[in-house]
């Protein structure tokens, strides 16, 4: 190879001598030292420390809100124009955080998308190491088939799906259906840990059944009861559907207990919340993703909270306002918003809404596993 060509490749390192506290005097000798660092691809810590070691997390991501009405209209348009099948795999349209360079990433670790399936359509079988879930804000008629187990998807249901399980979806109804997908794709992308495989081109007729309850729910979906035939505790949840009726009752009971004087039943006055848990371990449903449902009572508001790591929220029902960092939005059913790391969040339910119900998913299990998780809640 011609050494002269190699020598002309510009160095990506650019160092500027500036007069500033803690910086050496900008002299010709310093300039010469910095050109030496550049040509050897070296960066001195004294020019970088502020960016590498901030006193608290400063997220690259921006707080942002996507309105459901716009997402749904565009997803419907895609349903009429864009086929679903091998290659593209899913008619899923991702939220791209405006501060993450146009990548289809809602936050530095999380993917969130609206997925749309027309009547009678199938999304083909595949598997990937990324952990995933579906959450249904409205509609019904789609069954997701996980390792051959057909799982009904209906409004308010949360359907986790741990990495490396085969899955396909099929719409057995006469109406289109939309839902949201959450995955740890950006985390897997930045850590370069992804694997992906196609499955069968078509699922069997038996798997096209539309049972009300999946095999997984019949085995694992009984509160407080663990099947003895399954002695190993799976790290990701073996329960493939968490039904709205159960979630709704849990939140209503917390608020009813609060009304009866049991303040400890809720996070703060008028703010009930539950975490979806692995029934075998009580821990998070997925190794990288935490999922929760929150209910803020009419006229109430949550405490302002900051947390390491990011999350994505979707309004399930009701109307209110949400403050994230410097931003504040009015929100209603289906709207999605992003809370970047360490940005303060406050939720408020309108005085004329029955309640504000919100689904949330975040990356807290990653930070907890690494002993990097912190939460700060403002006093009431
Ligand atoms: C995927 O498999 C699904 O199975 C949804 O529904 C979104 C985004 C990227 C890669 C795979 C699904 C996805 C995805």
Residue whose Cα lies nearest atom 9 of ligand 1: it is 185
For the cut 70, the answer to whether the pLDDT of residue 5 exceeds it is no
The burial of 54, by beta-carbon neighbours within 10 Å (0-12 exposed, 13-18 middle, 19 or more buried), is given as exposed
The best mutation among 85, 90, 312 to test binding of ligand 1, ranked by most ligand atoms within 8 Å of the C-beta, falls on 90
What average pLDDT does range 250-255 have in this prediction? 98
Biggest CA pair distance of the chain: 82
Per residue in 112-148, pLDDT tens?
Answer: 999 999 999 999 999 999 999 999 999 999 999 999 9
- How many Cα neighbours within 13 Å face the side chain of 314? 24
Closest among 120, 125, 112 to 85, alpha carbons compared: 125
- Mean of pLDDT over the chain: 95
Secondary structure of residue 299 in the 3-state scheme: coil
**Of 125, 116, 124, 126, residue with least CA distance to 81:** 116
Q: What is the pLDDT of residues 254-289, one digit of tens each?
A: 999 999 999 899 999 999 999 999 999 999 999 999
- Are the beta carbons of 181 and 134 closer than 8 angstroms? yes
Rounded to two decimals, the pTM is 0.95
| Whole-angstrom distance, CA of residue 275 vs CA of residue 295 | 12
Residues in CB range of 124: below 8 A, 6 or more apart: 84, 85, 86, 89, 168, 198, 199, 201, 202
- Atom 1 of ligand 1: nearest residue by CA position: 90
Q: Which atom of ligand 1 is found nearest the CA of 94?
A: 8
Domains of the chain (ranges, CATH numbers): 1-51 (no CATH), 64-220 (2.60.120.10), 244-377 (2.60.120.10)
């Amino acid at each position: 190879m011609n050494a002269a060509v190699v020598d002309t490749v510009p160095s990506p390192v650019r160092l500027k001598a500036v007069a500033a506290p803690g910086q050496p005097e900008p002299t010709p000798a310093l300039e010469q030292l910095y050109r030496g660092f550049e040509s050897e691809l070296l960066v001195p810590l004294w020019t970088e420390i502020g960016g590498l070691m901030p006193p608290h997390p400063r997220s690259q991501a921006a707080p942002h809100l996507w309105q459901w009405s716009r997402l749904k209209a565009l997803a419907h348009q895609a349903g009429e124009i864009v086929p679903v099948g091998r290659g593209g795999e899913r008619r899923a349209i991702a939220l791209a955080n405006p501060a993450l360079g146009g990548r289809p990433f809602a936050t530095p670790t999380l993917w969130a998308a609206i997925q749309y399936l027309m009547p009678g359509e199938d999304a083909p079988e595949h598997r990937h190491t990324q952990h995933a879930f579906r959450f249904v804000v409205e509609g019904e008629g789609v069954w997701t088939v996980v390792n051959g187990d057909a799982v009904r998807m209906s409004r308010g249901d949360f359907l986790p799906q741990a990495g490396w399980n085969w899955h396909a979806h099929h719409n057995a109804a006469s109406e289109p259906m939309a839902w949201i997908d959450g995955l740890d794709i950006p985390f897997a992308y930045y850590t370069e840990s992804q694997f992906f495989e196609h499955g069968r081109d078509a699922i069997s007729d038996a798997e096209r059944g539309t049972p009300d309850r999946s095999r997984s729910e019949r085995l694992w979906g009984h509160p407080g009861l663990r099947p003895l035939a399954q002695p190993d505790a799976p790290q990701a949840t073996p329960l493939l559907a968490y039904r709205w009726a159960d979630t709704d009752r849990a939140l209503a009971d917390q608020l009813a207990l609060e009304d009866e004087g049991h303040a400890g039943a809720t996070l703060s006055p008028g703010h009930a919340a539950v975490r979806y848990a692995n029934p075998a371990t009580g821990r998070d449903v997925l190794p990288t993703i935490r999922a929760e449902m929150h209910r803020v009572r009419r006229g109430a508001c949550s405490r302002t909270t900051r947390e390491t790591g990011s999350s994505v929220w979707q309004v399930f029902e009701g109307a209110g306002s949400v403050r994230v960092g410097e931003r504040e939005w009015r929100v209603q059913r289906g709207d999605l918003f992003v809370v970047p790391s360490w940005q303060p969040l406050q939720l408020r339910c309108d005085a004329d809404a029955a309640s504000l119900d919100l689904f949330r998913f975040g990356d807290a299990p990653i930070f907890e596993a690494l002993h990097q998780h912190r939460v700060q809640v403002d006093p009431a």
